[in-house]
Amino acid sequence: MRELTYLEAVREAMSQEMRANEDVFVLGEDIGVYGGAFGVTRGMIEEFGPERIRNTPISEAAISGTAVGAALTGMRPIVELQFSDFMTIAMDNMVNQAAKIRYMYGGKGKVPMVLRTPAGSGTGAAAQHSQSLEAWMAHIPGLKVVQPSTAYDAKGLLKAAIDDDNPVIFYEHKLCYPKKSDVPEEAYSIPLGKADIKKQGSDVTIVATAIMVHKSLEAAEELQKEGIEVEVIDPRTLVPLDIETIVQSVKKTGRLVVVHEAVKRGGFGGEIASLIAESEAFDYLDAPIKRLGGKAVPIPYNPELEKAAVPVVADIVTAVKETLNRL
């Protein structure tokens, strides 16, 4: 099978959906000739033209408001926000409008839109262009939240998000863009709300999202040398969340480490830890649940400090050993 990067997989999913469905279009800053801040839409304007690959003014409020309106009137817009940090400016449209319209109109209107946006640190983009704010969105009833970690998942999940009749926030981690994996050429859909076990193991369960899936797999490889078998689960979507897969895994391993790049305080890891503590897996826990997350600081510009602000492979290795009393 051919390999694609995560970035190419996102582009392919959009292009295939646009070919298949006239109602799908993309809007965002510099997505036309320039090809988007990260090059995701490069070449798409040549195929689909400026009507369907719409360059917008620099106003996330306008972009998101346009998308909500377009979706309400029957289109299936895909918004590209240059950086997920600018969600703050789209907040009213996403939280107070998109998330609630279908409910408040008794189901008579719906908002089938996707808001794609690059998130996370690691590129030297500093404090206003590096955050991971997915927990904000996961907190809002009416929004679905997707966080793919691989090219294969990104393509399948984006198709499912575009096909969904509700607003979906689609987070693309910047460091995942160049990561390659086997991606089928035909269109395929990965249902939202289905976790993926990225590695089987029996000693401890790691639940990780986005770039932390890759770091956890590296950590798992290192731990394997010491005879520690780690199971790595990527929930892939936070809303809906496939807690059942995690429950079954924790019942098997008795230990849970949750890893995300977002600031630990108030991060989504707390939700996963709580759900497990409330679940039937509680009686199988053989160690306290551990959460790893970013430090409570704005992401620094200095590359060394930037690295130190979020979990690294060594942190994950240490956390796993700690839960196993193997330090």
Q: Which residues bind other proteins (CB under 8 A)?
A: 254, 282-288, 325
31 versus 256: smaller Cβ distance to other proteins: 256
Residue 89 CA to residue 87 CA, distance in Å, equals 5
- Name the burial class of residue 296, with classes exposed (0-12), middle (13-18) and buried (19+) by CB atoms within 10 angstroms of its CB: exposed
Residue 118 CA to residue 286 CA, distance in Å, equals 37
* Closest distance to other proteins from the beta carbon of 290 (Å): 13
DSSP annotation string for 249-309: HHHHHS-EEEEEEEESTT-HHHHHHHHHHHSGGGGG--S--EEEEE-SSPPPSSHHHHHHT
| DSSP H/E element including 138 | helix 134-138
* Closest distance to other proteins from the beta carbon of 251 (Å): 9
* Closest distance to other proteins from the beta carbon of 116 (Å): 40
* Closest distance to other proteins from the beta carbon of 287 (Å): 6
102 versus 255: smaller Cβ distance to other proteins: 255
188 versus 284: smaller Cβ distance to other proteins: 284
SS3 13: helix
* Closest distance to other proteins from the beta carbon of 281 (Å): 9
| DSSP H/E element including 144 | strand 144-146
Q: Of the listed 129, 173, 214, 260, which one is catalytic?
A: 129
Verify whether residue 129 is a known catalytic residue.
Answer: yes
73 versus 325: smaller Cβ distance to other proteins: 325
182 versus 286: smaller Cβ distance to other proteins: 286
DSSP assigned state of 95: I
Are 207 and 235 spatial neighbours (Cβ–Cβ below 8 Å)? yes
Side-chain-side CA neighbours of 5 within 13 Å: the count stands at: 14
Helix axes 243-253, 268-278, angle to 10 degrees: 60
Active site positions, annotated: 129
